[in-house]
């Protein structure tokens, strides 16, 4: 890899001081393959509603108000609502209220009744919802701009690792929308990309959470890998330590443990490892490095 290209990938947000050797090995082996995410995708934050209590509705509230379907769309408010990496809109807990019609145009609708009710509600600080600064400047305080949903959505505040959820869905500002027609889903959910994440995110948030801003996500290296089907990680419940068979609490140091990834995890990572021509030992080092960095972060937060 040329010095210039290496310097490009080592610019912020990467925290190179803590980067393990395998990080640099991947950058070297990935030359001419890795590109900035922002070069092949448009990345932006999900919806910031200004008044979540008004805009996010459960099925019970929808039935109570009998709001017309044209003003409601499935939305992912939190990663905890996703049962798997492959998003099924039918599994989503909330719908988002999207209405850009005037009250005159809404005459006789239940949506108008809901808006009128909303205008009488206040925040905990005693501010009417319609007067909250983040909504009061809109043409209609209750209006949210129509926007195209993204096929890939990356969670914003990261516990262990950031997951890239697959499936067109509107998302809250707990996510980063990744708009692209490139085949990067497998790479984004691989341990190689996890390695890039944990060497780039900002720490210091409650519970050891990691944060990657939109412009920082734009800079992360990715690689397009075409696959014929997405048959991996159907469940979204396991810890990464369980996924790769490493026990951070063991008396045996993480660096000396033999990774034993679960079948679907091994299948996904093999696709990426093969594309980067990683050796057997280098593949093990990826698992160990990610687990070590994640464990250091979350265990430090728990000890504070």
Q: In this model, does residue 3 exceed pLDDT 50? A: no
Q: How far apart are CA 292 and CA 253, in angstroms?
A: 9
User: What does the pLDDT average to over 147-174?
Assistant: 91
Question: Is residue 16 pLDDT above 90, yes or no?
Answer: no
Peptide bond into 13 cis (omega under 30): yes
Nearest to 10 by CA among 37, 19, 44: 19
Backbone phi, psi, residue 94, to 5°: -120, 160
* Residue 283 near residue 273, CB atoms below 8 Å: yes
Task: Kindly report, residue by residue over 173-227, the tens digit of the pLDDT.
Answer: 999 999 999 999 999 999 999 999 998 877 665 567 888 999 999 999 999 998 7
- Quick: pLDDT tens for 113-123: 999 999 999 99
Report the pLDDT averaged over residues 26-50: 95
Q: Which class for 1: exposed (0-12), middle (13-18), buried (19 or more C-beta within 10 A)?
A: middle
Q: How far apart are CA 138 and CA 170, in angstroms?
A: 20
- 3-state secondary structure (DSSP) of residue 75: strand
CB 155 within 8 A of CB 174: yes
Compute CA distances 1 → 4, 8, 272, 280, whole Å: 8, 11, 19, 22
17 pLDDT above the threshold of 60: no
The pLDDT of residue 179 is 97
Residue 203: the pLDDT is: 67
> What is the rounded distance in angstroms from the CA atom of residue 137 to the CA atom of residue 98?
16
Angstrom distance (rounded) from CA 113 to CA 5? 58
Mean pLDDT over all residues of the chain?
A: 89
Res 208: pLDDT: 74
Average pLDDT over residues 144-153: 91
The strand pairing partners of 47, in sequence order, are: 172
Q: Is residue 156 pLDDT above 50, yes or no? A: yes
Note the pLDDT of residue 2: 38
How far apart CA 213 and CA 43 sit, in angstroms, is 10
Question: Tell me, what's the pLDDT at 82?
Answer: 87
196, 161 Cβ separation under 8 angstroms? no
In angstroms, rounded to a whole number, what is the distance separating the alpha carbons of residues 298 and 200? 16
Region at 167 (left for phi over 0; alpha for psi -120 to 50; beta for the rest): left
Q: Which of 178, 169, 210 is nearest to 295 (CA)?
A: 210
Segment 253-287, tens digit of pLDDT? 999 999 999 988 999 999 999 999 999 999 999 99
Q: Report helix, strand or coil for 66.
A: coil
Q: 19 or 105: which carries more pLDDT confidence? A: 105
Whether the CB-CB separation of 27 and 6 falls below 8 Å is answered with: yes
The band of 234, judged by pLDDT with boundaries at 50, 70 and 90, is low
- Angle ∠(55,74,185) on CA atoms, nearest 5: 125
201 to 5, 196, 244, 303: CA distances (angstroms): 21, 9, 22, 20
Q: How confident is the model at residue 24 (pLDDT cuts 50, 70, 90)?
A: very high
């Amino acid at each position: 890899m040329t010095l210039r290209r290496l310097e490009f990938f080592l610019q912020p947000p990467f925290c190179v001081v803590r980067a393990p050797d395998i990080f640099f090995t991947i950058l070297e082996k990935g030359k001419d393959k890795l590109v900035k995410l922002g070069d092949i995708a448009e990345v932006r934050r999900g919806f910031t509603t200004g008044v979540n209590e008004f805009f996010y509705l459960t099925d019970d509230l929808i039935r109570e108000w009998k709001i017309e379907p044209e003003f409601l769309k499935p939305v992912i408010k939190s990663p905890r609502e996703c049962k798997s990496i492959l998003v099924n809109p039918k599994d989503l807990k909330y719908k988002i209220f999207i209405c850009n019609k005037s009250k005159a145009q809404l005459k006789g609708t239940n949506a108008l009744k809901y808006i009128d009710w909303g205008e009488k509600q206040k925040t905990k600080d005693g501010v009417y919802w319609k007067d909250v600064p983040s909504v009061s400047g809109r043409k209609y305080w209750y209006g949210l701009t129509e926007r195209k949903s993204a096929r890939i959505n990356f969670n914003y505040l990261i516990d262990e690792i950031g997951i890239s959820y697959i499936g067109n869905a509107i998302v809250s500002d707990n996510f980063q929308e990744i708009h692209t027609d490139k085949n990067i889903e497998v790479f984004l959910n691989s341990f190689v990309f996890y390695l890039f994440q944990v060497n780039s995110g900002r720490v210091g948030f409650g519970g050891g959470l990691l944060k990657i801003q939109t412009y920082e996500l734009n800079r992360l290296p990715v690689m397009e890998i075409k696959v014929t089907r997405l048959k991996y990680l159907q469940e979204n419940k396991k810890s990464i330590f369980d996924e790769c068979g490493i026990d951070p609490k063991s008396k045996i140091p993480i660096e000396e443990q033999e990774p034993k990834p679960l079948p679907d995890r091994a299948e996904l990572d093999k696709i990426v490892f093969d594309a980067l021509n990683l050796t057997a030992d280098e593949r093990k080092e990826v698992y160990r490095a990610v687990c070590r960095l994640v464990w250091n972060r979350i265990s430090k937060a728990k000890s504070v």
